[in-house]
Amino acid sequence: MKLIVVEDEKIIRTGLLKHVPWQRLGVSEVEAAANGEEALAKTENFRPDIVLSDIRMPGMSGVDLCRKLREKFPEIEIIFSTGYADKEYLKAAIDLHAVGYVEKPVNVKLLSENVEEAVQRVRERRKSERAKLRNYLLEVDTDVSLEQAEGAYFRIVMIHFDSEGCGAGFLPEFEKMAKEALRPYQISITMTLFDPFCLILLLGSEKEKRWKEMEPILVETLKSCTQDGSISGCFLSHGRRGSCQKDILLSYRQAKEAGKALSWLGWGKSVCYDDIPPEKPWMDDAKKQRDEFYQLLIDNNEKGACLFQEELYEKLVSHHLCMSSDIRYHYCVMRDMLEKAAEYRYPGMLEKPWEQRGTDFFMQAETFAEMKEEMIRRIEQLFEKQNGKTNTHKTENRYNVSRITEYIQEHYADQDLSIGTLAELVYLTPTYLSTVFKKQTGLTIGQYLLEVRVENAKQKMRDPQLKFYQVSEMVGYEDANYFAKIFKKKTGVTPTEYKESLQMR
């Protein structure tokens, strides 16, 4: 168990390290930092399970630090210490689901109780995690019994899918083909769909096999199971190999951590936990950068505004950053600046098709590439409208996309609705239609269909007489449990929580 102490007063920091019986409390490793910035830097490699932080510190406050840590490490346990009985800080502690709030001067007995509680939470979560993994991965039919395979090698691989999900019927076909493809290598494969957006694979072998030999086989198998023959909507992350059952959970955590690299690597890629470089600070003055972007818009500099977005993307990628609320906020402000500039200089001239979406694109996008492409699309749309550009080809494409969106709005309940059906409607190939649709709307057809279904489900859930399984069928999903997971992914709440929120309005 790892813990980091963040305290700006050296005498207190030293006293905590010296006088708290960390080992007896279940903490095996302790680090210390004098401020929030130092703590963030140390956690990159240390990766604590628990943080004990002063609230009021020069520069970054303890609350801001813990918010950032919670983004990077969602399961980290938080204990605050402060010399001020401040209701605002107490509220922040509650919002962050902190274990406790210890007033200064620190009472070692009271602090120890909080640390014990935090340690217990971590242990219970790990126990639950192990049980879940065992239920999903070890208690299913597999070619190699893990209980009997002493000395075997194991590795967890996670396949992440974009917001379309992988489809309810995907798993059986992929599992069958993957087992057949890996059979010559004497590798067993067990897989489970944790949710519609993440597939977890357990690879096992009696002999050590290099991952580089297996990865291309899995990728090719994955391609053969996707509708367009590509993995453009998939991302593979994997942990280290292990040689005993206890290593399986560790490999899972590593694969999960490696999955965060999706934001800068992008869809269609794969990454190993050991190959992830550390993050670098991404921007010294975000506001100054946003003001520069706004000035480019006001100066009517389309090329400069697009180049700004390209350079921002390159910086985010080169700094190996994971998606965060700060970055999402940065893009949301630039989105607002784009609309403000349009309304100020060209009132009534800018069409905003993205306003028809049920959720904000920049709060949902999972990669920096998607954010960049969407910003450039909106910039080009603004200047195209402003300059009165006309293009027969673009006009025809807009007409086709408009027909498709109208058709989806009318037929979203059809469970068999496919890209092939839609392509026939406008006499285009599925591949070309997909490209045109993404260029015009910023969404894939599957993403648009999914958003339409979720928005219509939300409307139908206003009827207290309808059960959720009925709503699911009405929007094109036969499996209500499957759709419930999609609903949670898109809205952030479960169907039950959403219905409860309607009753409170």
Q: Could you tell me how far CA 219 lies from the centroid of its own chain?
A: 21
Is residue 390's pLDDT more than 90?
A: no
Rounded (5°) CA angle 127-131-136: 150
Nearest to 94 by CA among 84, 80, 73: 80
What topology does CATH give the domain 140-275? Alpha-Beta Plaits (3.30.70)
Strand, helix or coil for residue 29: strand
Q: Tens digits of per-residue pLDDT, 227-243?
A: 666 677 889 999 988 77
Per-residue confidence band for 88, with pLDDT thresholds at 50, 70 and 90 = low
CA 55 to CA 452: how far, in whole Å? Answer: 44
**Sign of the CA dihedral running 260, 264, 267, 270:** negative
CATH code that applies to domain 392-504: 1.10.10.60
The pLDDT assigned to 132 comes to: 67
Three-state SS at 198: strand
- Biggest CA–CA distance in the chain, Å, is 76
Can you give the C-alpha Rg of the chain in angstroms?
25
Task: Give dist(CA 26, CA 123) in Å, integer.
Answer: 10
* Helix count and strand count (H, E) for the chain: 22, 10
> Is residue 169 within 8 Å of residue 233, measured between CB atoms?
no
217 pLDDT tier (thresholds 50, 70, 90): confident
CA distances 21 to 31, 103, 113, 123, Å, are 14, 19, 11, 18
Mean pLDDT of 288-298: 92
pLDDT at 148: 42
CA pair distance 475, 449, nearest whole angstrom: 10
What does the alpha-carbon distance between residue 240 and residue 275 come to, in Å, rounded to a whole number? 11
pLDDT attached to residue 354: 46
Strand, helix or coil for residue 232: coil
Percentage of the chain surpassing pLDDT 70?
A: 84
Residue ranges of the domains in the chain?
Answer: 2-125, 140-275, 286-386, 392-504
Confidence of residue 346 (pLDDT cuts 50, 70, 90): low
The region of weakest confidence among 8-17, 132-141, 329-338, 477-486 is: 132-141
Please give the average per-residue pLDDT across 136-158, as a whole number.
57
Listed residue (327, 408, 403, 252) closest to 71, CA to CA: 327
> What confidence category does residue 389 fall into, taking pLDDT thresholds of 50, 70 and 90?
low
Q: How is residue 492 written in tokens?
A: 């952030």
> Which CATH homologous superfamily contains domain 2-125?
Response regulator (3.40.50.2300)
Give me the sign of the Cα torsion angle 341, 342, 345, 348.
negative
Yes or no: say if 295 and 308 are a contact pair by the CB < 8 Å rule: no
- Phi and psi torsions of 270, nearest 5°: -140, 155
DSSP state of 493: S
Over residues 480-505, the mean pLDDT reads: 83
Listed in sequence order, the residues at least 6 apart from 461 whose beta carbon sits closer than 8 Å to its beta carbon are 468, 471, 495, 498, 499, 502
Instruction: Kindly tell me the burial class for residue 435, based on how many C-beta atoms sit within 10 Å of its own C-beta (0-12, 13-18, 19 or more).
Output: middle
Measure the CA dihedral 46/316/237/169, to 10°.
140
Q: What strands, in cross-sheet order, belong to the sheet with 29-33?
A: 29-33, 2-6, 50-54, 77-82, 100-103
Which carries the bigger pLDDT value, residue 104 or residue 321?
321
Strand order across the 234-238 sheet: 187-195, 198-205, 153-161, 234-238, 270-272
Residue 378 confidence (pLDDT)? 87
Per-residue confidence at 221, pLDDT binned at 50, 70, 90?
Answer: confident
Q: How many beta carbons lie within 10 A of that of residue 166, not counting itself?
A: 23
Residues 182-195 have a mean pLDDT of: 78
> How many residues does the structure list for the chain?
505
If one compares 19 and 96, the residue with the highest pLDDT of the two is: 19
**Bridge partner list, 50:** 3, 77
Distance CA 15, CA 11 (A): 6
The Cβ of residue 432 has, within 10 Å, a number of other Cβ atoms equal to: 13
Query: Which stretches of 187-333 are assigned E, i.e. beta strand?
Result: 187-195, 198-205, 234-238, 270-272
Quick one: DSSP state of residue 319?
T
